[in-house]
Chains A and B, each alone.
Chain A
Amino acid sequence: QVQLVQSGAEVKKPGASVKVSCKASGYTFTGYHIHWVRQAPGQGLEWMGWINPKSGGTKYVKPSQGRVTMTRDTSISTAYMELSRLRSDDTAVYYCARARGSGSPEEYYFDYWGQGTLLTVSS
């Protein structure tokens, strides 16, 4: 069965960096894009961007460009999302999700989600 298992909760200080992992199993890792979505406390879902595990190609939402980096290690079927220069408003649950669909990757839907990783940014 398809599973996405994320790394554990993190507490970071403003200005620091964090790297969240998302280990895939139960399907061919390079066959599907991985997207990252975050959810601030009590708020809605915010799309952050995607990585193509096969090519390593990425696209990030404009406000996060320059602070977010998505990578992957195909040998261990794991995707990563690194966020730098952390601010208090980066406090959120971060989800990875397997994407499917047609057209451009930003049009895809998400059929499997990780369990989420809570990032708390506080001094």
Chain B
Amino acid sequence: QSVLTQPPSVSGAPGQRVTISCTGSSSNIGAAYDVHWYQQVPGTAPKLLIYGNNNRPSGVPDRFSGSRSGASASLAVTGLQPEDEADYYCQSYDSSLSGRGVFGGGTKLTVL
């Protein structure tokens, strides 16, 4: 099981808003370490979506936004589009085991 917990799946109709949660603990997100998000279309490499909790790289639509509160983080997608259907992963740092990068288990977003 992953150190960061994500729901296995979420879904929404085109145009709707969905959120994906990423729940950690006091050794990672709860210790105020940054959270980053990636989008992965099956068969391709992950793509950076959000870095430093709520920053978008150039080229990422502003329909994607991130937030962090306490030991959890969230990715929100507004105005869902068919091309948003993909797997989404959160990433942070965990101070246990001498420090390591950790990922969530991933969430499959389905656009209905």
Contacts and interface: CB of A to CB of B under 8 A. Distances in A.
B93 A109 contact: no
Contact of A45 (B33, B52, B92, B106): B106
Interface in B84-102: 89, 91-93, 97-102
A115 B98 CA distance: 29
A111 B51 CA distance: 9
Interface residues of A, number: 23
A108 B33 CA distance: 10
A92 B6 CA distance: 21
Contacts, number: 67
Interface residues of B, number: 26
A72 interface: no
A73 to B, nearest CB: 23
A101 B89 contact: no
